[in-house]
Amino acid sequence: MRTCTRILLVLGLFLFSAGGHAQELQPEQDRDWSPYYLKTQFAGDVGLVSVGIGKQSFSQRLETDLSLGYLPKSVGGDHIFTLALKSTLLPFKPVKVGPVDWHAFTTGMQLGYIFGKEYFASEKYLSRYPNSYYRFSTAFHLYLFAGGQVNFTRIEKLNRFKVYYEAGTMAKYLVSYVQNPKYLSPGKIFHLAIGAKMHL
């Protein structure tokens, strides 16, 4: 478990560092805050609620963050903590809608790790089950999503904030759906999430 956590942390630090070099090449922005931001999210396969820190890079086209999520026992049957590394791509220029900037389409992926002895990174560590009994890791999860984002760019006292929404699914659910479309519906494998970010 410690090894997996270290891997995610190293990946996060590497991406933040890489993003920092790209940020330095940008023209100066008419903003008085840094590319770093705090975030909170409701749902989205990283617990019922999560908090984290992230950074913009590549001319504000990429947002990468590291979050810790929590799913209470009353919802998930146990107290579950998830560490997630997430990258969101904003491929198009935002649309100005009054005092806000609307990114109509965003997409990205998230790699999550669930803490707990009952979860495993590879089935070879679960000796009580025959090999290939499980096809996917129960500790690591790859989450794919698409959505949108609204930046409160021209609202005084709120211009550091942005809100986002997304719909996504775990890669293993998508594979299962493709293989068994009669037994699974999009409504069962896709999840909704909403969140907010505040620049520092």
What is the tally of structural domains in the chain?
1
Q: Check pLDDT > 70 for residue 29.
A: no
Domain at 193, CATH number? 2.40.160
pLDDT at 171: 87
Full residue range of the structural domain in which residue 44 is found: 2-25+32-199
Task: Round to whole Å and give the CA distance between 45 and 191.
Answer: 8
At 151-188, the pLDDT tens digits run: 999 998 999 999 999 999 988 888 888 888 777 878 78
Q: Under a CB-based contact definition with an 8 Å cutoff, are residues 121 and 139 in contact? A: yes
Q: Check pLDDT > 80 for residue 129.
A: no
Phi, psi torsion values for 185, nearest 5 degrees? -120, 155
pTM: 0.78
